[in-house]
Amino acid sequence: MKTVTFYPQQNQIIYALNNVKSSEQGKIQNADVENFLSQKKPGILNIVLPKQELIFRRMEFPFSGKRKIQLVLSSELENLLLESPDNYLYTFEFFSDGKNRTIVNIYAIRVSTYNFWKNLAKNNNAKLFLFSDALLFNNLLRQKKDKGSNHIAIYAIDDYLLINITENGMPSGFYCYDSRIAQSTDVGELIKDVLSRRDFHIYVAAEERLKKEFLPQGITVHDISVFPETENQFLFHNLCASKNYRNPLRLRKLSRAKEIPSYSIILLGIFLIVSAISFVIYLQRIEKERQIDGLIAEMSKMFSTTFPEVKKIVDPLVQAKEKVIQGIDTLSITYGHPSVLKTMAEVTSLFPEKIDAQIDQFSISEKTLTISGTVNSLKSLETVRNNIEKSRDFTIIDMGTISFDERNRPNFNITIGLL
């Protein structure tokens, strides 16, 4: 079976054709790609997309769990992409640091780019696999270094330059430049700036003339020469063919809310909702009765302390009123709380005006304050959390469990200590 691998570069494509008996390598113009495929008739078509066609975003979440993260990804990506998230296909990488914090690397290509190559493969009865030169280059470095290493990898060919930055085994940045568009001095300054901010190992796959042109003087670099028998321009073609590095993009659409269920499922949902509401009302009634019993017990204890001569307590509130009318010493109760309204005002001032937030519950007891409600995004919730921590009057005791409503807005429950 013939395998054709394309690596698009501006107006031309670097290609490699391999089968059991022979191999062929070279370059063709973009306009000749359809004729080339119709003549060669490959069974497999590999496309190595240059970094220009791959969008990379990195997001951090203060909790773990892929399902929770996928619920909020669509709304969070709205502000990170140049177009609507629906115009892209995605590959996700999840990394956990073990402290209920998750890092997500997001790789996206436009749907139009995918459809272009998909239609070419379909018209020529070929099976399509999409790769990224940035990710193939990163896989190459993973094989050479420990997963926890920090390094910068530079690949250069003709007028194209690719820079990968890896921190703690995780890709943290990808950059690419074409010297036909950007001045070589500008590219050199950018490389110099990247290298000056990180004390990382530097790996280079490039010709000597390109090293002299782009790399600053006096830096120590390590050459990458995995395929010395192959020209540098066919590095990624060989990586696609090697089992150690072959890792095609597993593209999919963003998860959205599911469609409305069928009629029978709707009826079941209504039944469950009504049952849940009834159960919640029952629990609320039990809780209120428990609170009333606790209040009466507290009043009885306070009454016994204030009026020790009364041995039988039937209704402490009525009996206290009778004692006051009779002229006996007035019941004196000192509360340890500051003004509730003042406390509410101080807490709400910690929510910046630009944040869309709604407080549904505000409970104060002893030196503890509990607030719960809804905020527009996790970033906003993190801002509020930082404001509370910086306050001289409050401290966070517990952030509680974060959930999401039907609009993917975080529901929060924060327990605050009063200082």
Distance of CA 358 to CAs 249, 354, 371, Å? 41, 13, 10
Strand 102-110 relative to strand 88-96, pairing: antiparallel
Structure tokens, 292: 């009333």
Measured CA to CA, the distance from residue 346 to residue 340 in angstroms comes to 10
For the chain, give the number of residues. 419
pLDDT at position 334 is 35
Strand 222-223 relative to strand 201-205, pairing: parallel
Model confidence, pTM: 0.58
Of the options 3.10.105.10, 3.30.1360.100, 3.40.47.10, 3.30.497.10, the CATH number for the domain spanning 340-418: 3.30.1360.100
Residue type, 294: G
Residue type, 1: M
Closest CA to 374 of 416, 398, 406: 406
Q: Where are the domains of the chain?
A: 3-241, 263-325, 340-418
pLDDT at position 54 is 92
Q: Tens of pLDDT along the chain (419 residues)?
A: 899 999 998 889 999 998 877 889 999 999 999 999 999 999 999 999 999 899 999 888 888 777 778 778 777 888 788 888 889 999 988 888 767 788 889 999 999 999 999 999 999 999 999 999 999 988 888 776 554 578 888 888 877 888 888 887 788 888 887 766 655 566 667 777 777 767 788 888 887 777 777 777 777 777 776 555 567 778 889 888 888 888 899 998 886 544 445 556 777 778 888 888 888 888 888 887 887 777 777 777 776 776 666 666 666 666 665 665 554 333 333 334 456 777 877 888 888 878 888 888 888 877 888 888 898 888 888 888 888 888 888 888 888 888 888 888 888 888 888 87
pLDDT at position 336 is 44
Measured CA to CA, the distance from residue 340 to residue 353 in angstroms comes to 22
Query: What is the 3-state secondary structure of 41-110?
Result: CCCEEEEEECHHHCEEEEEEECCCCHHHHHHHHHHHHCCCCCCCHHHEEEEEEEEECCCCCEEEEEEEEE
